[in-house]
Structure 1
């Protein structure tokens, strides 16, 4: 696996996109155009970040123009070999907002997702950012559906740890089937197998249990997987996914322990067998 900085450089370029606000029930609320530039300078030892956002279209003057320079990356940001990344809060704290951001990169496309929880630790808002490399003919993916997820997926999960130990890799298997209005999942990784069942409700998947969860199926093949509420007293994970093609999917997962501490980030690349 490359260094965090080397993997970050996979995101260099100019990306034209939209910031789309999505309700916690998966309803698209509003979108604003954007241009994000990540320029490598000084033999890529310096990266200049510039994000412009616009009211209606990118031919107008921007409504906001943010510039930042990077020579290093914070501990909370983990980049994987493909350029995919996850970053977010290091600690869940009472009466404090909590957030996680994810990014996927594939040739001339990027998909990013931001999940926010309010000061009462409830899932509160979602932003989907769909980006195309400027000057290319890349296109957006269709809206994600249950049918696109059905089948058996096999892949590899790479996990990076907050305590800086060496990353680990693990084979994964995920079988997804539909029975009536229910979705059944069986996830195997290492010597563990976890089974779960969700109620299908349009573009929402509701998982009951000790920690109720919701998966939202979103535009551009994206998905958001969160608890309805998080706690600094019990372990949990938050996740984003992106269906890059009909038979390949990637997922990013941030794991927290029973003290609310971020302990690891995992990137899964999986292919459908049937």
Structure 2
């Protein structure tokens, strides 16, 4: 079973002399049952080891035809509260354990950013600031962390024209740069819910792979169908069944389906 994130407020992060470095509160994540390097072989860690494998194969072009921007992976859901941020963070942490792989976790839920809060970090400049300021380089807002292979890109300042900015040529150029500058880098975007804002479908149209998180026993079939319709421009769409009750024969259960 992949559980949800408890709603407790995160503790502030420790500011290092380098303003582009932040220490993730790994002890807190471990207490929440999330994936960490020191967390051992927990059920959740094993779930995400299985979930990440086909995504990594797609990112590295190991299956048939290479996927354009296959290393750009968006994690979204039909509705709020289904666990997309939880899945995005755990997926990023799990992928950061891979050899010869670096991971950039992007908080792209620009209306309701949550990644930094869950990680125990304070908000700062990020994606929207780069899109709004042609003079600002991406390297100025990426945060290196105490997880060696994991970096973070905050959402940055809110803007009422977020959808237009995410659909802009600047965003397309930024994504090309992110995808191609470091071929060993996997970029995971925590996106807004598909049925709540238009930003999610705009982002998904520019991704190589899409992960749609579906909450067990809550999300309706019609909501899932409508969400999938909004990302049908992407050929590689995957579903993660979240918050399911365990079977009697197993302590943990997940469901993973490739729609590609």
Higher relative CO (Cα under 8 Å, sequence separation at least 6) belongs to: 2
TM-score with structure 1 setting the length: 0.24
More strand by percentage: 1
- Max Rg structure: 1
